[in-house]
Structure 1
Amino acid sequence: MLTRTSPVLSDGTKVADLIYPSSREVQMRVLSDREIYELEMEKIFGKIWVLLGHESEIPNSGDFMVRDLGSDSVIVARGKQGEVFVTLNVCPHRGMRISTADCGNTQIHKCIYHGWAFRPNGDFIGSPVERECMHGKMLPKEELGLKKARVQLYGGLVFATWNIDGPSFDEFLGDAKWYYDMLFCRSDKGMEVLGPPQRFIVNANWKTAGEQSAADGFHTLTLHRWLGEVGNYAKKGEGETTADLSPEMYGVEISSPHGHALRCIDLARKIKRLTGLDPAELTVQQKLEALPPAGMTRDMVEQLANNLSDDQLQVLTSMPPQVGGMFPNILFGFVYIPQPDGTVVGSMTLHAYVPQGPDKLEFVNWIFAEKDAPPELRDKMLKQTIQLFGTSGMVEQDDSDTWPHMTLAAKGAMGRKSTLKYQACFETGAPEGWPGPGIVNEGFTKDDTQWHWWLYWHELMTASDEEKES
């Protein structure tokens, strides 16, 4: 457990008092306050594991990309032995950014200001006119390198943290890893990006998107109502189109004490609609062949048994995780997109909502495919995902319109005193025989996953600086 303290804002408000546990409410000022934002950069993004990208973006020795780890620019670089390094993009000499490019390839990162040079792992090489020793003699070269972050690769995803002696990445994921493995670690060769990520700026606080990514399914009924009305997504009932998406709101939801969340959605309806087969009469293997996981072909299904347990395969063929998030700012979607010919194309996408200030975030969207997916499937996945979940996708146009309004409302004299409410609570528990770990509930989607997201935010924000995250 973390030792609790209570940072106090300049107006005398304790951060601990911004959340009301008994009524499951959060003061809206957290969505706009600069002091709170600065604390988040230290207590959240400065302490926990943060997603920076995917290793397939830097496949070769010397490849690098520049990303943000909280409020700090970092260089993510590939070393000669294939290692991935993350270093602070700040020259220790006079504070200039080492790299002013978004990406590239080099074995020497050289500061344009005074020419100090560094290896991809951040080690200091030297300064110009070596005989004059312009880096001085007060500190050894070993102490003049770039600040190094701790790095973890997971399913090819690159995570880093400044908390060098803190918990492991597996400890951070906790029980949620059991489910994430079904998405990111299911195949023999793993995933790769389909080109560089899409990126755009939204004038909103990062938490407006972050808390939604904690498996908020309910907003789909209204904000994305068109999904039940338009084209291949239209729901048909008794000869007429109906926009009722409520059947999609039933399933299993997994919460985490670390704010991670997953929505597991019933696969039986899709199997029955697409194949005409009765899922109740099919084995696990037959279900996988009838409707392979999103992004996989029938030829790839046999790989699943190499990487997943029988219990995981049972969940993958009954209530597979399809949408959800990783705390603090990641949303993932492994969804089935219907086609005009009655088939489906899987979409594998990952969003990060990167803080850029109390009222600005950068929306970063990666699109993935399995490395051995056939070219024609990769092309369809890329096109379909861009149309739906890309920076100009139909779904994202809905979501990114709400977040700025919430941020603006949180700036008002009265609005900032209003509260976000998470009072729709599960009363069910896990389905009978559910094999997976975590805080599991079944039924119509509720607010529990998002509320656990806020509880972990609160835990980190009120933790003593002397204590390490547990």
Structure 2
Amino acid sequence: MKMEDFLQIKEKVAEGYLPQWVITDQEVYSLEQEKIFAKTWLFLGHESELKESGSFVTRMMADDPILLMKNKQGEIKAFLNSCTHRGTKLCTEDFGNKKTHTCPYHGWSYNTNGELIGIVAGNKIYGESMDKSEWGLRTVPRVESYQGMIFGNLDQNAISLEEYLGEMKWYFDIMLGRSDGGMEVTGVPQRWIAKANWKMTSENFNADPYHVQTTHRSAVEMKLTPTDPLYASYGHQVVLSNGHGINVITSATGRGANQYQGMPEDMWPMFEKNLSKDQLEVFSRVTNFVGGVFPNLSFLSSQSGTEGNKYNHLQFRVWRPLGPDKVEIWVWHMIDKALPKEYKEKSYRGFLATFGAAGTLEQDDTENWARIVEASQGRMARDRKLNYNNVVNYLMGFDNMEPDSEFPGPGIAYPTCYTDHVARSMHKYWLELIMKNLEVKANGS
């Protein structure tokens, strides 16, 4: 790629467009791995998944396999899931509890602090010269948590997680810190592979309620969602720092059908104790929170059910890139610890019926994501000279909408969720990271 290609992208993004060729371009994808996924905070899991000393889960940071575990001191540690002897993947289980992880290749073993504690026939074959303390597991450079959510960063010099989340913390406090005891993960995250580009999947959740009425038409016909074509537009789309964004969806009246997303009334005193006045105002009116943390963490706080009643749930999802045209989707179901067991179980069943690999709404989205990839891989769509007016449209609200200064939450809030403000913000931040230091190199410095 040449500097003129990046300048062209920058020009088009500023005008409210995105060149279609960047969606599935292999060179772009390679730059994303280097400049985005190796430099930003990536979601690894929730503290409730690591309940006891020795608990572990295996996760991925883009292409890097990660072993996340709790040591004897109750600290959460993250390591490259690779034996330091020959590089073999150390742990192949998704989760469990172990005091020691032993490599299946040559038997080297490590404790929960990642320290090398055992070498088969060590003294006989290595003598006294080998220092085991130099051969522990390689640590993820930065691991930090917010409201129980664990993130990792491969860049030792990155800004702190809290600084990176910025205004999003205010909204996370509503979703994750509203009740005593916080949230917990139900079961294990679902995982499956889809034909899709990670930018499009992130954008779908973070910035695009506009698709709901058409893509999920079957849900309308089954009377699972309202028939009003504007129903997902009511509320505010909020642009946040660092490419993050959230849609606070309400209704035509400005209030959701059920206060506090239909949560049991005996929970309300907790909300009033744990949240600020402005947070309570937003939470009391919302129907759905849907948004994301750049680059590839999305969330949806909504209600679903299979027995005539709806139950609140919070889902977090990671779009792990496997290439420019493929993602591995990870989805966590989360629920307030303080809720009764029966409520939690019904919430989980409703979630499974609508989201996840077999969910009715999930299948609608997956079909469209595959079609984007299919239509973006040919010669016409990938023409970098834009000979075919080769851009896709992000002009909703571009020059005909002003922010709502009365919205009580942080960020720049626009008075509808049918707008492309968050999508354009994501594209600008994506390009900022992609182009970082490129101009210096182009000048030969």
Same-fold call, TM cutoff 0.5: yes
User: Could you say which residue in structure 2 is the equivalent of 1:450?
Assistant: 423
One-letter amino acid matched to 2:343: L
CA change 1:246–1:268 in 2 (3 A) is closer
- Aligned equivalents of 1:38 and 1:271: distance in 2? 44
Contact 2:144 2:151 in 1 (8 A): yes
What RMSD over aligned residues (CA atoms) do the two structures have, in Å? 2.5
Q: Alignment partner for residue 68 of structure 2, among 57, 69, 76? A: 76
- Aligned equivalents of 2:370 and 2:256: distance in 1? 40
In the alignment, structure 1 residue 93 sits paired with structure 2 residue 59? no
User: Could you say which residue in structure 2 is the equivalent of 1:460?
Assistant: 433
- Aligned equivalents of 1:456 and 1:17: distance in 2? 16
Structure 2 spans left out of the alignment, 5+ residues: 384-389, 441-445
User: Could you say which residue in structure 1 is the equivalent of 2:294?
Assistant: 327
- Aligned equivalents of 1:44 and 1:429: distance in 2? 30
Q: Alignment partner for residue 184 of structure 1, among 159, 170, 176? A: 176
One-letter amino acid matched to 1:334: S
Q: Alignment partner for residue 293 of structure 1, among 261, 283, 302? A: 261
- Aligned equivalents of 1:217 and 1:180: distance in 2? 19
User: Could you say which residue in structure 1 is the equivalent of 2:143?
Assistant: 151
Q: Alignment partner for residue 339 of structure 2, among 373, 382, 385? A: 373
Shift of 1:466: 13
User: Could you say which residue in structure 2 is the equivalent of 1:386?
Assistant: 352
- Aligned equivalents of 2:108 and 2:305: distance in 1? 54
Shift of 1:252: 0.7
- Aligned equivalents of 1:401 and 1:262: distance in 2? 24
- Aligned equivalents of 1:135 and 1:401: distance in 2? 59
CA change 1:379–1:269 in 2 (3 A) is farther
Task: Give aligned pairs, total.
Answer: 431
One-letter amino acid matched to 2:316: L
Q: Alignment partner for residue 393 of structure 2, among 389, 413, 421? A: 421
CA change 1:131–1:466 in 2 (3 A) is farther
CA change 1:437–1:270 in 2 (3 A) is closer
| Correspondence 1:44-193 to 2 at 5 A | 44-132=36-124, 134=126, 137=129, 140-149=131-140, 150-193=142-185
In the alignment, structure 1 residue 196 sits paired with structure 2 residue 164? no
CA change 1:413–1:222 in 2 (3 A) is same
One-letter amino acid matched to 2:301: F
Contact 2:62 2:321 in 1 (8 A): yes
Query: Which segment is superposed worse, 223-232 or 55-64?
Result: 223-232
User: Could you say which residue in structure 1 is the equivalent of 2:386?
Assistant: none
User: Could you say which residue in structure 2 is the equivalent of 1:279?
Assistant: none
Structure 1 spans left out of the alignment, 5+ residues: 1-7, 236-242, 275-290
Q: Alignment partner for residue 366 of structure 2, among 377, 400, 406? A: 400
- Aligned equivalents of 1:92 and 1:395: distance in 2? 43
Contact 1:352 1:363 in 2 (8 A): yes
Secondary structure at the residue paired with 1:247?
coil
Contact 2:212 2:232 in 1 (8 A): no
Contact 2:260 2:286 in 1 (8 A): no
Shift of 1:111: 1.7
Shift of 1:361: 0.8
User: Could you say which residue in structure 2 is the equivalent of 1:435?
Assistant: 408
- Aligned equivalents of 2:240 and 2:35: distance in 1? 19
Q: Deviations over 1:331-355 (max 9, x none)?
A: 21111337775x5321321221111
- Aligned equivalents of 2:31 and 2:45: distance in 1? 24
Secondary structure at the residue paired with 1:231?
coil
Shift of 1:126: 4.0
Identity of aligned residues (%): 35
User: Could you say which residue in structure 1 is the equivalent of 2:232?
Assistant: 248
- TM-score under structure 1 length normalisation: 0.85
Secondary structure at the residue paired with 2:241?
coil
- Aligned equivalents of 1:297 and 1:338: distance in 2? 15
